[in-house]
């Protein structure tokens, strides 16, 4: 069996490695002309994602590239402590969440795939695909094509594979906050290394962590009710973002302004999107994973982990079941979980964009919420998810 994997970001290399462990060959086709390099800022990679990587022996390099983020501490814009929750840990078998530069995560996964002999072809942007009774052929923008037994779309929010499977598939939904962030040097702020401090500011949400190298890594979520038009955000200069953020946090307690002023990287912002429900994840020969099937707001801290769980579980399904059963089994096993994570991310993002009245109510209720979330039972469904590689996958139930 030969798989064509569309997309070389996070889900693509993991899926290829998992398929290889299941005895299935694959080639990754990446639209960009080279590897990820120093792409994006950073992300939090949850303990359940580390569990999924461990199932295919791919967790070591990721752990080395990031650092433990064992605790989330929440405050209000007035400086009031709202609560704290563990970030994985005992619930996920000891795997606390990792904070890692996005480019470093890409490189760690891509390097492992290369070491295992997995082929990657760059500059291959999917434009169409044709399925036959025994194969699928992918057509790329450069005029080339590739044929295999199945095609796995790991091609993200703007997935071409999703549209090929279902021309009526839903498009992404705008979530009313923006994302920006960076790395600050030469600034001393409260907090133990690895503890992520989250502030529900009066006008904007802010988070920061003291990294082991002495830098402060931070992000902010400026509220934006209307969706920015094309290229609007990229046209804003770094200095303007710094001035805007400084103004947003000027009336808040805490070190947000100091951290922003000490930022060393160029500042940019991007919109937030999710995909609450995609009715069709597959046809006879093609299937979508990760953000292509169920994008979640970054507020959930689960986007990368969900994509990695997908890749490992799909490989198990293809190992144990014929293709006609493997895709439906995968969908049955994943849909409820990922849609619950997307919903949790949307709730969290909307809390960040609360208005004046809602903000007061939110800050009164959050201590109760965090107290409940601090228990292992409350976190088990998200962080405690584990994939047992050796257990067999059973065929999905068929309608009578």
Q: What are the tens digits of pLDDT across the range 3-13? A: 999 999 999 99
pLDDT at 87: 80
More confident residue, 331 or 35: 331
Least confident of 33-37, 45-49, 92-96, 169-173: 33-37
pLDDT at 285: 98
- Is the distance from CB of 194 to CB of 68 less than 8 angstroms? yes
For residue 168, pLDDT beyond 50:
yes
Q: Which domain range does residue 314 map to?
A: 2-172+274-383
Share of the chain above pLDDT 90, in %: 77
**Structural tokens at position 78:** 């007035």
For residue 400, pLDDT beyond 60:
no
Residue closest to 26 by CA, chosen among 141, 95, 111, 121: 121
Asked whether residue 259 is domain-assigned, the answer is no
pLDDT at 34: 77
CA distance 55 to 52: 5
DSSP 298: G
102 membership: H or E segment, kind and range: helix 102-115
Asked whether residue 193 is domain-assigned, the answer is no
Q: Could you tell me the pTM of the whole model?
A: 0.92
CA distance 189 to 257: 11
Task: Give the tens place of pLDDT for each residue, 363-384.
Answer: 788 778 777 777 767 678 888 8
Give the pLDDT mean for 215-233: 94
For residue 89, pLDDT beyond 70:
no
Give the pLDDT mean for 254-280: 94
Asked whether residue 201 is domain-assigned, the answer is no
Number of domains in the chain: 1
Asked whether residue 154 is domain-assigned, the answer is yes
Asked whether residue 251 is domain-assigned, the answer is no
User: Side-chain half-sphere of 63: how many Cα atoms within 13 Å?
Assistant: 14
**Structural tokens at position 97:** 């969440």
Asked whether residue 164 is domain-assigned, the answer is yes
CA distance 58 to 113: 9
User: CB neighbours of 237 closer than 8 A, spacing ≥ 6?
Assistant: none
Q: How confident is the model at residue 252 (pLDDT cuts 50, 70, 90)?
A: very high
pLDDT at 114: 95
Give the pLDDT mean for 14-39: 88
For residue 40, pLDDT beyond 70:
no
pLDDT at 200: 93
The residue assigned the tokens 């060393």 is 264
**Structural tokens at position 59:** 């967790």
User: Side-chain half-sphere of 193: how many Cα atoms within 13 Å?
Assistant: 8
Task: Give the tens place of pLDDT for each residue, 103-152.
Answer: 999 999 999 999 999 999 999 999 999 999 999 999 999 999 999 999 99
Asked whether residue 322 is domain-assigned, the answer is yes
Strands 71-76 and 195-200: parallel
CATH number of the CATH domain containing 96: 3.50.50.60
Task: Give the tens place of pLDDT for each residue, 301-358.
Answer: 899 999 999 999 999 999 999 999 999 999 999 999 999 999 988 877 776 766 777 7
**Is 232 exposed, middle or buried (CB count within 10 Å of its CB: 0-12, 13-18, 19+)?**
exposed
Residue closest to 152 by CA, chosen among 313, 314, 34, 274: 314
Residue 385, φ and ψ in degrees, nearest 5: -70, 130
Task: Give the tens place of pLDDT for each residue, 292-306.
Answer: 999 998 877 899 999
pLDDT at 112: 96
The residue assigned the tokens 């960040």 is 352
Asked whether residue 190 is domain-assigned, the answer is no
């Amino acid at each position: 069996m030969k798989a064509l994997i569309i997309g070389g970001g996070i889900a693509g290399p993991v899926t290829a490695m998992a398929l290889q462990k299941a005895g299935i060959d694959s080639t990754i086709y990446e639209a960009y002309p080279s590897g990820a390099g120093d792409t994006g800022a950073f992300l939090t990679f949850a303990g359940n994602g580390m569990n999924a990587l461990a199932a295919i022996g791919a967790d070591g390099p990721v752990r080395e590239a990031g650092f433990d983020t064992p605790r989330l501490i929440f405050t209000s814009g007035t400086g009031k402590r709202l609560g704290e929750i563990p970030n994985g840990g005992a619930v996920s078998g000891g795997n606390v969440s990792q904070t890692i530069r996005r480019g470093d995560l890409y490189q760690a996964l891509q390097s492992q795939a290369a070491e295992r002999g997995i082929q990657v072809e760059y500059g291959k942007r999917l434009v169409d695909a044709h399925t036959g009774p025994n194969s699928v052929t992918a057509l790329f923008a450069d005029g080339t094509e590739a044929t295999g037994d199945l095609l796995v779309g790991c091609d993200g929010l703007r997935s071409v594979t999703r549209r090929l499977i279902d021309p009526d598939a839903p498009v992404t939904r705008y979530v009313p906050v923006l994302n920006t962030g960076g790395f600050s040097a030469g600034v001393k702020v409260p907090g133990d290394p690895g503890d992520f401090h989250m502030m529900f500011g009066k006008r904007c949400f802010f988070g920061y962590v003291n990294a082991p190298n002495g830098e402060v890594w931070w992000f902010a979520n400026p509220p934006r009710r209307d969706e920015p038009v094309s290229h609007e955000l990229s046209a804003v200069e770094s200095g303007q973002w710094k001035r805007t953020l400084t103004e947003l946090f000027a009336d808040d307690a805490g070190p947000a302004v100091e951290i922003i002023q000490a930022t060393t990287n160029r500042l940019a912002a991007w919109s937030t999107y999710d995909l609450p429900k995609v009715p069709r994840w597959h046809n006879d020969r093609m299937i979508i994973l990760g953000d292509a099937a169920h994008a979640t707001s970054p507020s959930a801290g689960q986007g990368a982990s969900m994509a990695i769980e997908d890749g490992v579980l799909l490989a198990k399904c293809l190992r144990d079941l014929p293709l006609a059963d493997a895709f439906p089994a995968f969908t049955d096993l994943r849909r409820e979980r990922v849609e619950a994570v997307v919903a949790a991310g949307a709730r969290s993002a909307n809390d960040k964009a609360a208005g004046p009245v809602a903000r007061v109510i939110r800050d009164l209720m959050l201590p109760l919420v965090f107290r409940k979330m601090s228990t292992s039972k409350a976190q088990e469904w998200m962080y405690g998810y584990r994939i047992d590689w050796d257990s067999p996958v059973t065929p999905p139930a068929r309608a009578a």
